[in-house]
Amino acid sequence: MEVKIRSYIGENCITVDDGERLYQKIHNEILKGQRVDIDFGGVKIFASPFFNAAIGQLLKDLPREQLKSLLHFIGLSSHGDHVLRRVIENAQKYYTNPHFRESVEKVIADQAQDL
């Protein structure tokens, strides 16, 4: 399966909603062990909320190495690659380390109370 992000999402990969759309499109294919190519050609802006929703949450179902073997990125800028790598590192910690997850959830809850 190949997903051309510029056609599917647009040239800005920023929002959680857009990330969730991509996640829904690729999740079942990844779980079936199918290779997914994601083409970022023509995409100009990347943000961690998009990657958290689209890619990070895949790590709740699969180990990092398996995800790495099934998911391939094409045309990702160096900035996009940097953001994606950081999201993957944080997601792996979140899904494999209960203490890290508790800390993150506490910070989020504290910030929500401040609103």
Residue 45 CA: distances (Å) to CA of 12, 37, 87, 94, 108: 5, 19, 15, 25, 25
Distance separating alpha carbons of residues 51 and 92, to the nearest angstrom: 13
What is the pLDDT averaged over residues 95-113? 83
Length of the chain: 115
Q: What is the pLDDT of residue 106?
A: 84
| Residue ranges of domains in the chain | 2-109
Crossing angle, helix 98-114 and helix 78-96, to 10 degrees? 110
Q: What is the pLDDT of residue 115?
A: 66
pTM, 2 dp: 0.88
Q: What is the pLDDT of residues 20-29, one digit of tens each?
A: 999 999 999 9
Distance separating alpha carbons of residues 41 and 102, to the nearest angstrom: 37
Q: What is the pLDDT of residues 48-98, one digit of tens each?
A: 999 999 999 999 999 999 999 999 999 999 999 999 999 999 999 999 988
